[in-house]
Amino acid sequence: MQKRLYTFSFVVFFCFLAAPAMAADSNQDGTGVYSLGEVVVSGTSADKEVATTIEVTADEIESQNAGTLDEALELLPGVDVTTGGNGTPRINIHGFKSRHVILLLNGIPMNSTSDGQFNPSLIPTENIAKIKLSYGTHSVLYGQGGLAGVINVITKKGSSDFGFTYSAQMDERGNHLSKAAASGGEDKIDYFLSISNYDSNGYGLSDDFTETSEENGGLRKNSDEERLSFFGNIGASLTDDLRLGLTLSRTDGEFGVPSSVINDRNDDFAPNVKYERTDDLEAYSSQVSLDYHPQSMFGIRAWGFVNSQEEENNTYKDENFDELTGFTEDETEIQGGTVQTSLNFGTYGNTVFSLSGEKDQFSSKGESTNSRGRTTEIDLDHELKLYTAALEYRIALFSKLDITAGVNRTWQSRKDGDDDSKSGYMVGAGYSLTDTTRFRASYARKIRFPTIGQYYDSNKGNNTLNPEQSDNYEAGITQALGLNLNLDASVFLSNIENYIEKDEGSGIYENNDEYEFKGIDVVLSRPFAGKKGIVSLGYSLLKTKDKSPGTLKDELQYRPEHKLTLNTTYTFDFGLTAHGDIMYVRDQYYYSDDATEKGELGNYTIVNIKLEQKVYKETLSMFMGVTNLLDEDYEESYALPQAGRTGYAGFKLKF
């Protein structure tokens, strides 16, 4: 921990030294949008999308004091952020699990090669310029894996002026977060650097929590977390047509995994009580990129990347965490690259052709001891390769109709199994009936190949798994209603085949599940005049159906049927910015291991508020806020209570 604090202090000190020399040309934050490595179609814009896409900006992230990626996305329609038994937040979309969501950071895939999931709490928000969420009928250029959608995180970049920000906050339990960022540029070079340090003793439970044999309330046992994150990018414009870029990121940390608060063998729903920790985590990613767009119809973009993560995961005998009963040293790594060429035919549309390849590796070494004292050695080391070719074409007709169509094919190669290949495709249209009314409709077939863990896990793996497949349908409307009100509504339907789940009897991964997800997302928003803020009301309905042969389930577990949000931010003339958001979730079910018993989680309402006041011009501001204002005692998974009311305060400096 001391090493992390020393590193953090050094970078902050360096940024302060740099500030006086360049402050004369500074602006508010000195940042732009680092688009190198972003998957884009030439000529597209937000108001011409044929599939539902939502963007979250840096200003919106800051206004709600979202410190990590999951906090920045939890209010979006169709998104369900759930923390279950592994202690990691999961971003689920439209009924799909997080392993069906592609996560990209400047074009770098961040999904684990073991299970396809990702830890959004490892992505801090101080370096994010915008987040682009594309739902299930997204572009074929993203390749395989995104049955639910794509989260494209696009970071900040420097401008010609120097900018420096520093902020620090602490909550009522002494948990603290410090962040610093510096950016700037000169002539044709720009850079952006950021660092953050989070140190938490754990979160507090609601005062309404009922004590159990495993949890007495107050500070949640084994919920501590430490995280030190560094990020940097640099861009160089060699000519007016050619730009190069480099992105680097590093995260170190450790955290506990809060266990079930119920230890009752007669309870068919409670997970087993475990004492687990990730005592060491090291994550690293890098990317080099090129963008060449001469003054002609031709353009090319290319990037190569490496993303690796190492974890030391330990299991202990009891809550004292001083006697090991098992451990694993896990390493996941992705290496690869993408080349995209674009041709712009003017009134005849534009097309993008993409070739990408990656090598996925996963290794796990360690041992585990069962309740009878029997020790099992763990030694897993596998790799697989994925290659994808994609072609997408977009054309605008009659100035009102936009049509997009695309196809991709992915080939998977394995040393320890049969090779496979599968195609996906999409087609969509958007029609602007008037200046205030736009319709859109799209269909896509998405595929996802199994991960290394699903193939080869020593306890659950199945080497004969087939790719998952989903047929996604979507239709929507964007409508200006008058009185400065804007409506965006969509309906969706997904039919999934070969959905991979563990067999209830053997515990082995199988393809024997067929699911149906359908629902609606509605957002009504109204910006305030003079860019003073916005208020938005959102509602999501999700209906799930298990269509698998012989199923005992009515609907699928841990998929909330209703979600209602209210989100508002307003800046007063005297420099006070007030933010508040409300999220109401209801009708969420769960099942026993054999699916013969069914339970329902309690409905819950989460209210968050934040106030920020400018103290000295744009340079110094103070803020304070409360999360879970009503001190709701709620669960996102059975027997795993979440944080109660927490107050915090801090300050922010800008140069």
Q: Residue 199's pLDDT band (boundaries 50, 70, 90)? A: very high
| Token code pair at residue 602 | 């309690």
Residue 238 confidence (pLDDT) = 92
pLDDT at 203 over 70: yes
168 has which bridge partners?
Answer: 178, 651
Mean pLDDT computed over 581-594 = 94
Mean pLDDT computed over 227-249 = 95
Q: What is the torsion angle, in degrees rounded to the nearest 10, for the CA atoms of residue 474, residue 480, residue 481 and residue 485? A: 100
Antiparallel, parallel or unpaired: β 101-105 and 149-158: parallel
pLDDT at 76 over 50: yes
pLDDT at 27 over 50: no
pLDDT at 329 over 80: yes
Q: Residue 655's pLDDT band (boundaries 50, 70, 90)? A: confident
Mean pLDDT computed over 328-337 = 97
315 has which bridge partners?
Answer: 276, 326
Residue 47 confidence (pLDDT) = 61
| Token code pair at residue 444 | 């896509």
| Token code pair at residue 283 | 């994550």
Which of 176-180, 372-376, 521-525 comes out lowest in average pLDDT?
372-376
Do residues 204 and 218 lie in contact, with contact meaning Cβ atoms separated by under 8 Å? yes
pLDDT at 587 over 80: yes
pLDDT at 14 over 60: no
Q: Which residues contact 437 (CB under 8 A, 6 or more apart)?
A: 477, 478, 479, 480
Antiparallel, parallel or unpaired: β 485-502 and 350-369: unpaired
Query: In whole angstroms, what is the distance from residue 538 CA to residue 451 CA?
Result: 34
Mean pLDDT computed over 305-314 = 97
Q: Which of 606, 591, 594 is closest to 638 using CA atoms?
A: 591
- Phi, psi for 357 (deg, rounded to 5): -150, 150
Q: Residue 65's pLDDT band (boundaries 50, 70, 90)? A: very high
pLDDT at 3 over 80: no
Residue 89 confidence (pLDDT) = 95
As a whole-number percent, the residues of the chain with pLDDT over 70 amount to 94
Mean pLDDT computed over 325-341 = 96
Mean pLDDT computed over 438-454 = 97
pLDDT at 6 over 70: no
Q: Residue 197's pLDDT band (boundaries 50, 70, 90)? A: very high
> Which span out of 56-60, 126-130, 160-164, 407-411 was modeled with the highest average pLDDT?
407-411
User: Exposure string (b/e) for 81-100, b if CB count within 10 Å is 16 or more?
Assistant: bbbebbbbbbbbbbbbbbbb
Helix (H) or strand (E) holding 252: strand 242-257
Give tens-digit pLDDT for 109-125: 999 999 999 999 999 99
pLDDT at 296 over 90: no
Residue 466 confidence (pLDDT) = 96
pLDDT at 21 over 70: no
Query: In whole angstroms, what is the distance from residue 250 CA to residue 228 CA?
Result: 8
Q: Which of 648, 651, 650, 607 is closest to 625 using CA atoms?
A: 648
Q: Residue 29's pLDDT band (boundaries 50, 70, 90)? A: low
Mean pLDDT computed over 521-545 = 94
Mean pLDDT computed over 321-325 = 93
pLDDT at 46 over 90: no
SS3 22: helix
Give tens-digit pLDDT for 365-411: 999 876 667 788 899 999 999 999 999 999 999 889 999 999 999 99
SS (H, E, C) 467-533: CEEEEEEEEEEEEEEECCEEEEEEEEEEEEEEEEEECCCCCCEEEEEEEEEEEEEEEEEEECHHHCE
pLDDT at 22 over 90: no
